[in-house]
Amino acid sequence: MQVRAATRVSDSRLHIVNVKGDGHGSGSAPLASTASLALATPELPAGAGQPPIIARKAWAQDMAPPRVAPEYGAVEMAFVHHTENPNGYAASEVPAMLRAIYVFHRYVKGWNDIGYNFVVDLYGRIFEARAGGIDEPVVGAQAGGYNLVSTGIAMLGTFSSVPISKAARDALERLLAWKLSLHGAPSQGRVTVKVNPAGASYSRFPADARVSLPRIAGHRDGDATECPGNVLYGELPTIRTGVQRLAPNPTRATLTLTIPAVVPETGATPESSGATAPNGTPTGRAQTLSGILELLDGTPLSGAPVLIQARAVSHRGEVVSERTLGETTTNPAGRWELDATPLSPSRGGIWLRAICPGGPGVGAAVSDPLHLPGGISLATPPTSPPAQSTAQTRQAAI
């Protein structure tokens, strides 16, 4: 073991990481083969289509549990990283390499899970990294100050003086085209974001500063680092062009809850006019969930299916499911509405999203999540045709 440092090193700790899974460091436990690596779900045809994404469980192998359940934010941009592992690794070594990164992030850095949302190896394989759902806006620990508004993709290796492989580049472009399109974000141009004080110590900019960053950024664009390496950073302009070619005009979905104005009748009581939740949201009063489905250029999507789903998270994010509460289709203006009746507040409330699962000529898209203090009952309009011809008009509650 040799350590090089610019200054004298003292009181340091050495972490010996056994990622083989045999408990003795002997290396006798077999590493997963490529054929045995299961794919993550769901599959949503956003952008040019969803690339194969290897599920987290394929590399974690029950040895890399998150510390807590994940947080969720939004995906307005993407950061590209390199992991600074040695290049030239074998395909069979990658699961163990990911477990080693997890151990470094989880136990040395003290983070809740592996920091990256996705990792791409030199063979062009895409791995789900941080738990929480590949189709969700999972908050990572990959770009201090910007984790709440971004997704992070790490290229496995070191790319300071060598380029990424063609297979890795193709996979990166396909993943970026899919993930950004799914959340309605363009691949070109810039976006203004605010530096989160919680991660500002990593940032090149002060806390709460409003910063303009590329939609597809290198880690060094936002934080004080050399990541993702000089050569890979220099490749980003052509990578952005490749992503734009794959997904020139993706679908965008929105979700809002509208509370109609009510003029109280004389002598009305809270029981007769609807109770109010602690945060001011009335319960028991009819409200409206609504949104728009359109292309990024503003073209409305008519007759497209829209589902309203509630997120359920278990096993600290390693199991995530979305329960469909209601469904409808968009009108000629690309708009949709559903009658909603909020129920009593519950611990933690619920998170909703609107999702278009995609179809002929329509790419999949998910809205930013919407938090409600309690359950909600949705009624699908009787005149709305069933989405994907699989469900009839119905009322659901959670």
What is the predicted pLDDT for the residue at 386? 38
What is the predicted pLDDT for the residue at 373? 92
What is the predicted pLDDT for the residue at 30? 45
Range 256-268 average pLDDT: 59
pLDDT in tens, 275-284: 333 344 555 5
Kindly compute the dihedral angle of the four CA atoms of residues 126, 132, 136, 140, in this order, to the nearest 10 degrees: -80
pLDDT in tens, 158-171: 999 999 999 999 99
> Is residue 25 pLDDT above 60, yes or no?
no
Backbone φ and ψ for 207, nearest 5 degrees, come out as -55, 140
What is the predicted pLDDT for the residue at 379? 83
Higher per-residue confidence, 60 vs 8: 60
Q: Rounded to whole angstroms, how far apart are CA atoms 77 and 183?
A: 10
> Is residue 389 pLDDT above 70, yes or no?
no
Q: Rounded to whole angstroms, how far apart are CA atoms 6 and 17?
A: 25
Kindly compute the dihedral angle of the four CA atoms of residues 337, 338, 341, 346, in this order, to the nearest 10 degrees: -90
Q: What is the DSSP string of 128-160?
A: E-SSS-TTS-B--SSSTTTGGGEEEEEESS--S
Q: Rounded to whole angstroms, how far apart are CA atoms 360 and 365?
A: 14
pTM score, whole prediction: 0.86
3-state helix, strand, coil in the chain (%, to 5): 20, 30, 50
Confidence of residue 13 (pLDDT cuts 50, 70, 90): confident
Confidence of residue 28 (pLDDT cuts 50, 70, 90): very low
What is the predicted pLDDT for the residue at 20? 58
Please provide the average confidence, as pLDDT, over all residues in the chain. 87
What is the predicted pLDDT for the residue at 274? 33
pLDDT in tens, 178-216: 999 999 999 999 999 999 999 999 999 999 999 999 999
The residues, ordered by sequence, that sit 6+ positions from 360 with a Cβ below 8 Å of its Cβ are: none
> Is residue 229 pLDDT above 70, yes or no?
yes
Worst-scoring range by mean pLDDT, 55-59, 168-172, 344-348, 353-357? 344-348
Worst-scoring range by mean pLDDT, 12-16, 116-120, 168-172, 222-226? 12-16
What is the predicted pLDDT for the residue at 158? 98
> Is residue 145 pLDDT above 60, yes or no?
yes
Q: Rounded to whole angstroms, how far apart are CA atoms 233 and 129?
A: 22
Worst-scoring range by mean pLDDT, 157-161, 257-261, 367-371? 257-261
CA distances to 6, 51, 87, 101, 213 from 18, rounded to whole Å, are 29, 31, 20, 12, 38
Q: Rounded to whole angstroms, how far apart are CA atoms 287 and 390?
A: 27
pLDDT in tens, 282-330: 555 679 999 999 999 999 999 999 999 999 999 999 999 999 999 999 9
What is the predicted pLDDT for the residue at 260? 60
> Is residue 381 pLDDT above 90, yes or no?
no
Confidence of residue 19 (pLDDT cuts 50, 70, 90): low
Helix and strand numbers, DSSP H then E, in the chain: 6, 19
> Is residue 27 pLDDT above 60, yes or no?
no
Confidence of residue 34 (pLDDT cuts 50, 70, 90): low
Q: How many CA atoms lie within 13 A of 50 on its CB side?
A: 22
β-pairing, 370-379 vs 395-397, is antiparallel
